[in-house]
Amino acid sequence: MSSLLDFLTLENQLCFAIYETNSQFTKLYSNVLHPFGITYPQYLVLLALWERNGMTVKELGERLKLGTGTLTPMIKRMETNGWVRKERAANDERKVCIFLEAKALDEKHAITEVIAKEVLACNIELAEYEALLQQLKALQGKLSTGL
């Protein structure tokens, strides 16, 4: 990109590059996760819960930056499929805590293994991976000022 005149071409839009890459990750991960019967967003929920089991819907929403309009029906599907269980907090009946079911704990290794294998197959250098991660976090910080 040589000047701001090129700003409006699709090819030079950072937002579009992110949009496209996100689609690619979604498709790649969906393929791998399909045999397990989970979707890519559901896998992100599992990742969050594997790290900290028993989070409330609100905490999960803060972690994944998702609202209840997305999470409530998604958790219901994961509940139906035996991945998680809902439990009302005893001290505050408004809160609903989400706990992993045995299935989610048992499948953890198998799932992370196929995901890791798939990512490794893409031959992404560790340095490249980390650099991108750092830059994305820097970008996230800057974008958040506009919200």
Partner DNA sequence: CTCAATTAAATCGTGTACGATTTAATTGTA
Partner DNA sequence: TACAATTAAATCGTACACGATTTAATTGAG
Q: If contact means CB under 5 to 8 A according to the sort of partner, which of DNA, a second copy, none does residue 1 touch? A: a second copy
Cβ-based neighbours of 98, under 8 Å, separated by 6 or more:
49, 54, 55, 56, 57, 60, 75, 84, 85, 86, 87
Give the E-state strand segments of the chain in sequence order. Answer: 55-56, 84-88, 96-100
- The residue from 13, 39, 53, 81 that contacts a second copy (CB under 8 A) is 13
Interface segment toward a second copy; rule CB under 8 A; list 21-29, 53-61, 78-86, 91-99: 21-29
CB of 125 to DNA, least distance (A): 26
- Of the pair 70, 88, the CB lying nearest a second copy is at 70
- Tell me how far, at minimum, the Cβ of 33 lies from a second copy, in Å: 12
- Based on the shown chain and the rule CB under 8 A, indicate whether residue 56 belongs to the binding site for a second copy: no
The amino acid sitting at 4 is L
Closest by CA position to 124, among listed 133, 135, 137? 133
* C-alpha neighbours within 13 Å on the C-beta side of residue 43: 24
Strand ordering across the sheet containing 55-56: 55-56, 96-100, 84-88
Supply the DSSP symbol for 110: H
Return the number of the residue (1 or 146) whose C-beta is nearest DNA: 146
Q: Figure out which of the listed residues 16, 62, 99, 106 binds a second copy, where binding follows CB under 8 A.
A: 16
| Partner interacting with residue 87 (select from DNA, a second copy, none; CB below 5-8 Å by kind) | none
All residues at 6 or more sequence positions from 64 whose CB lies less than 8 Å from its CB, including other chains = 44, 45, 48, 71
Q: Which residues bind a second copy (CB under 8 A)?
A: 1, 4, 7-10, 12-25, 27-29, 31, 44, 47-48, 50-51, 63, 65, 112, 116, 118, 121-124, 126, 128-133, 135-140, 142-147
